[in-house]
Structure formats: C-alpha cells, structure tokens
Amino acid sequence: MATAAPPDPEPDDMDCSVCHEQYVQPKLLPCGHLLCHHCLLSWLKSQDQALCPLCRCAIVDPKERGQKSWQDVADSFPTDLAMADLVGAHRLLKQSHSCICEEAAATCLCLTCGDLFCESCRKTHVKQKVSKNHTVEDLTSLTADKVAGSQYAPCAVHADKTTELFCPTHGESICHLCATSRHSNCPEVMDIEEKVKDARAVLAELAVTLTEGEARLDKAIQQLDAHLAETEKQTKKAVAEIEAVCARLEKSVQDCRHRLNELAHSACSDVKEAVTETKTCLLQRRGKLTSQKHVVQRVQEAKNRDTISTMTPVMQTRVGNLDCSATLPSVAKVVSKVTVVIDAEAVTRIEKELSGLGQAKVMSADLDFVPVPVLSFHDNHGKNIVLSNNKQTAQRRGREIYDGIVVASQPMMTNMLYEVSH
C-alpha cells in the first residue's frame, strides 16, 4: 500500500514542546511525541506524574516507576534519528557559512562531499576529475530533507570511510575495510542498500498497520459520537414526557417534577460520562497510532541509510506493542443507553404515590466495535527464546539453530497465520 510522502517539515515542527527550541537529541516517547533528551529528563524530574506534555499519555508505566533513575528512563527511549537529521540540516541551511577557501561567503553545497563553496570555488570543484560528477546545489534552493538525505554517516571505526555494508550479526553499518578486518568471520555481510530496501518494506507494512488501526478507531469514535447524540435525544424525550405528566398534576406535581428531572438527568449523565471516558481512551490510543505513523513515515522517507537501518527495528518493536484494535478499554464502563419509563397506572395514583412515579432503565447499547483477534505465546518458555511484539513473536537467542518447540497459549486454528522467527 503506497503512502504519500510527508512534506518537508516546517521549522515549528522541529521545536520541542518544553524548551520551544529545535530538538537536541530528540527522544521518542511511547505515545509517538518527541522531547529533547535534556528536556525529557527535566520534565520527568519536575512532574508528580510522568505524562506527555502534549497528549497526557503515560511516559512511564506507574508500576515501573522507582525501579530505575530518571536518567536511565530518559536514556532508554530511542532517539528519532530521522528528526535529528532534519534538524541538523535545517540548522545548516539557516547559518551563514564561509567557503572552504575562507575568502568568501559560501553560496552552494556539494551534496556528495558535504563541502561549502563560493561561486569561484564551485567552478573549480566541478571541473576537477575526482569531483566532476558531484552534485552541487545553491543553498537557497536546498531543503532540510534533501540535505539530510545527502549526509552519509562515516564509519564508526574508520572516519574517512563511508558505510556501504551492513553486518546482521552485529547489527551495524560498516565500511569495506571493516568487512575485511573486524567482520571477516561474520557469516553474512550485505550491501547496505539491500538492508535499506528491506527496512523500507518493513516500514511500509508498519504504515499500513497504523493506517488501518486509525480507520478502526475513527469508526469506533464516530459510533460513540452517534451514541452520545442518541443519548441526548433520549434525554430530551424523557424530559418532555415527564413535563407532560407533570402538567396534569398541577400543584402537587411540583416536587415530583423536580425529582423525576433529576432522575432522568442523573441517569443520562452517567451514560454520557461512561461514553466520554471511553471516547477519551480511544482518542488517546488513536493519537499514539497517528504519532507513531508520522515517525514511521518520517523514517520511511529518510535518505540517511544508517538512520533507516537503526530506526526500523525500533519502530517494529514500538508498533508491535501498540494496540491497533478498536476494542473498548478493559477499564471502561459499560456503554449503555437510557430510557425513562413512566408507569401509566401510577398517574392515577399520583396523589398518594408520588414517590413511586417513574423510573430510569439502563439498557445495553449495540455498538459495532470490531476487535482485532490477537494470539500470543505463553510466558513459560525456554531460556533461548525471547518473546516480543506484545508476545506475538517468539525469537531464538543467538544465531545457532536447534530443534525445539514453541507452544502457543491457545490452540492453533486453521486459516490463521502464526509468526515464529529464529
């Protein structure tokens, strides 16, 4: 499923919501929002509850609070390398630079070697044999996205070499020199373009998962909105019936009218509160999906191959742990509708039995929430097995392959796909 490329971000989109400055080491929160590393740390230390300042979703599970320091918590969140690349490129374009000759202001940037040139040096650069095929563009016409995509990270060991290979054994990008020295015994070293191609395919699947989850949540939220409207309609109808009865009872009905109105509004208020709470939960869940989708799309469109390679497994784990279903939260109250039923016979006895006039009935509403079936593996497993993806994926430790059995927590069903990786 193809997805539209996100536009080049506006400068405000690169600003941290805490310091209101461009991101410095942007950390990816569980909800999908970003905070600078130092802002995240100060925010956690200053708040009674570890909640995102944008959507109020929990940053840290309350059960896990106190188990490690705030510094460790802040360090544990992945860095959004795609955003960091964009911010760095944006800063580069906004700064005034000197040409490498240090005699004039730079007017263009070589996207191949990363050097800045004045017009005179530019002509010399494109005429040289080693750089005549380099791509040189004016600084005024460049975008942050294009600059970020042109910056190939140097090898971590050999700074003068660019990373062109990827070692799956160690999970790192390397240069050709590393491949013949430090990684000569690794069973597989692949071209980084092949790794990037695989990563983009995974990111495309993640984007589809998030889009489908958004659609399910949109449908559920629309149903809740319709249910709220119907509840309001029933409230008005109930109040109208009460008023009609009370009009017949003249003076003696005044106290009864007050009691019945309170009964109707109180019953409907409980329903509204339950529906509103449930809607809030679903909106928060959808917000997470949307935020994570933006991150996936940003990484998906990133030009930096190391960024894609590093961020893809992070986002796989993140999306795998998200709840993309439209099921009601387990803590949600029963969503119901209200009908006020008035006993017609009681009207004739109203003078004697005012206290028995009217009652509110709460009946279950038929809301079409479509759950996504989830099958997970049991916690009881061998030490060479690691569960991930919200217990839906069982993965072996290490690269050795042994005969073994993975047992699911439910019977295997026909026409159902199960994932077991090693």
The domain made up of 11-81 has a fold known as Herpes Virus-1 (3.30.40)
pLDDT over threshold 70, residue 140: yes
Dist. CA 313–CA 311, nearest whole Å: 6
Q: Which pLDDT value is given to residue 27? A: 92
Q: Which of 86-100, 190-204, 243-257 has the lowest mean pLDDT?
A: 243-257
Q: Which of 8-12, 302-306, 325-329 has the lowest mean pLDDT?
A: 8-12
- Beta-strand (E) ranges in 37-138? 108-110, 116-117, 136-138
pLDDT over threshold 80, residue 34: yes
pLDDT tens per residue across span 210-268 = 898 899 899 988 988 988 898 888 888 888 888 887 777 666 666 766 777 787 787 77
Question: Residue 368: left if φ>0, alpha if ψ -120 to 50, beta else—which one?
Answer: beta
3-state helix, strand, coil in the chain (%, to 5): 45, 15, 40
* Percent of the chain with pLDDT strictly greater than 90: 5
Sequence-distant contacts of 215-220: CB under 8 A, at least 24 apart: 216/324, 216/325, 216/326, 216/370, 216/372, 217/282, 217/285, 217/286, 217/289, 217/326, 218/286, 219/326, 219/368, 219/370, 220/282, 220/326, 220/367, 220/369
Q: Which pLDDT value is given to residue 128? A: 85
Given pLDDT bands bounded at 50, 70 and 90, which one contains residue 202?
A: confident
Which run of H or of E encompasses 256? helix 254-300
Given pLDDT bands bounded at 50, 70 and 90, which one contains residue 277?
A: confident
Dist. CA 82–CA 78, nearest whole Å: 11
Residue type, 191: D
Residue (of 143, 139, 137, 112) closest to 6 by Cα position: 143
Quote the Cα angle for 392-404-374, to 5°.
15
pLDDT tens per residue across span 357-395 = 666 676 666 666 655 555 667 767 766 777 766 666 676
pLDDT over threshold 90, residue 331: no
Instruction: Indicate the pairing of strand 116-117 with strand 136-138.
Output: unpaired
Region 152-158 average pLDDT: 69
Q: Which pLDDT value is given to residue 28? A: 92
pLDDT over threshold 80, residue 279: yes
Q: Which of 53-67, 170-184, 358-372 has the lowest mean pLDDT?
A: 358-372
Sign of CA dihedral 159, 23, 107, 139: positive
Q: Which pLDDT value is given to residue 3? A: 43
